[in-house]
Amino acid sequence: MKLNIISKFKRKKILVIGDVMLDRFLYGKIYRKSPEVDVPVVDIYKEIITVGGAANVAMNTSSLGASVFLTGAIGEDNDGEKIISILKSKGIDIRGLIIDKSRPTTVKTRIIGNKKNIVRVDKESRKLIDRDITRKLLKYIKNVVPQIDAVVISDYDKGVLSQKFLKEIIKLSKRFNKIVIANPKIKNFFNYTGVTVICINKSSAYSAFGKKSMSRIGKNTIKRMKCDAVLITQDKKGMALFEKNGHITNISPVKCKVLDVVGAGDTVVSVLALALVSGASMIDAVNLSNIAASIVVSKPRTAIVKTNELIGSINNLFYSR
């Protein structure tokens, strides 16, 4: 594992496009059940707010030293203002974050009682954003693409990424020879033809192709989507990398204590993009992403990985023996 690759991250510029959201975590104690209905009463003692979705991709990429340009839509509300505040505090360029007055900011609220997840409450609109908002986003992307090193598309099926919009993003990125890393939801899966790498989890892979072998799914995806590689995450089984040249690599998970898997996929695509534009081979980039993912799942809530953590993990895994 070449540590000099990581040192190059801080000179890179990454454009992140997709569904921006707010993650809210409410922690409480359960002492009793409600007298009205048979549900626990959670007395909240702590609230933690962070960003999720494409904004979490931006946060992970920024925390590793890169310059980040975020493109997406938020509502004209307090939650949208909180997202702006958090991103600004981290130096992320949010000129491509458009306010859409017709929809709320996407918010995922998780309620944790007695250290157990009780329920998740979502506030969102999944309808496609209107053409005017799309035009504004595309105008920004056209101005930024020539100056960046890679594009990461973070699709959470919240209405930002329409079929036509995706086609324009991919066409524009290819015109300027930019690496495109896509993390699609199943609804848009087959609209990502021509990207560099598709990152999906096992569940999405089965939804797209049926319960076939991972090998068959990987090969079929490369053939149909005309991409250079497909990375399929498989929970406790690690990752499977399929490359256009026919190489298949199974990557074992890094041993760690898993506290929370929220946002781990965001970390994977962030590190993958940075590693590839910094000169890493596909397999080295995936290995770096795998190590980064092990760091964030060891943390509570939606988490990010820092440069010193990534270097420390690599040293422990490869150089401390």
Structure tokens at 93: 């360029």
Per-residue pLDDT of the chain (321 residues; tens, 9 = 90+): 567 899 999 999 999 999 999 999 999 999 999 998 889 999 999 999 999 999 999 999 999 999 999 999 999 999 999 999 999 999 999 999 999 999 999 999 999 999 899 999 999 999 999 999 999 999 999 999 999 999 999 999 999 999 999 999 999 999 999 999 999 988 889 999 999 999 998 888 888 888 888 889 999 999 999 999 999 998 778 899 999 999 999 998 888 777 777 778 899 999 999 999 999 999 999 999 999 999 988 887 888 889 999 999 888 887 655
Q: Which residue is it, tokens 């003692």? A: 45
Could you report the per-residue pLDDT of 254-311, keeping only the tens digit for each? 887 777 777 788 999 999 999 999 999 999 999 999 999 999 888 878 888 899 999 9
Q: What does pTM read for this prediction?
A: 0.94
Residues 30/113, Cβ–Cβ less than 8 Å? yes
3-state SS, one letter per residue, for the chain: CCCHHHHCHHHCEEEEEECEEEEEEEEEEEEEECCCCCCEEEEEEEEEEEEEEHHHHHHHHHHCCCEEEEEEEEECCHHHHHHHHHHHHCCCEEEEEEEECCCCCEEEEEEEECCEEEEEEEECCCCCCCHHHHHHHHHHHHHHHHHCCEEEEECCCCCCCCHHHHHHHHHHHHHCCCEEEEECCHHHHHHCCCCCEEEEEHHHHHHHHCCCCHHHHHHHHHHHHCCCEEEEECHHHCEEEEECCCCEEEECCCCCCCCCCCCHHHHHHHHHHHHHHCCCCHHHHHHHHHHHHHHHCCCCCCCCCCHHHHHHHHHHHHHCC
Spatial distance between the Cα atoms of 111 and 18, rounded to a whole number of angstroms: 25
pLDDT, position 154: 96
- Fold category of 4-20+53-105+125-319 in CATH: UDP-N-acetylmuramoyl-L-alanine:D-glutamate ligase (3.40.1190)
pLDDT, position 171: 96
> Around Cβ 180, how many Cβ atoms within 10 Å?
24
> Around Cβ 59, how many Cβ atoms within 10 Å?
28
Domain ranges within the chain, ordered by starting residue: 4-20+53-105+125-319
Spatial distance between the Cα atoms of 74 and 18, rounded to a whole number of angstroms: 11
Spatial distance between the Cα atoms of 299 and 237, rounded to a whole number of angstroms: 20
pLDDT, position 139: 97
266 flagged as catalytic: yes
Spatial distance between the Cα atoms of 19 and 298, rounded to a whole number of angstroms: 25
Residues in CB range of 300: below 8 A, 6 or more apart: 259, 260
Set 79, 93, 228, 266: catalytic member:
266
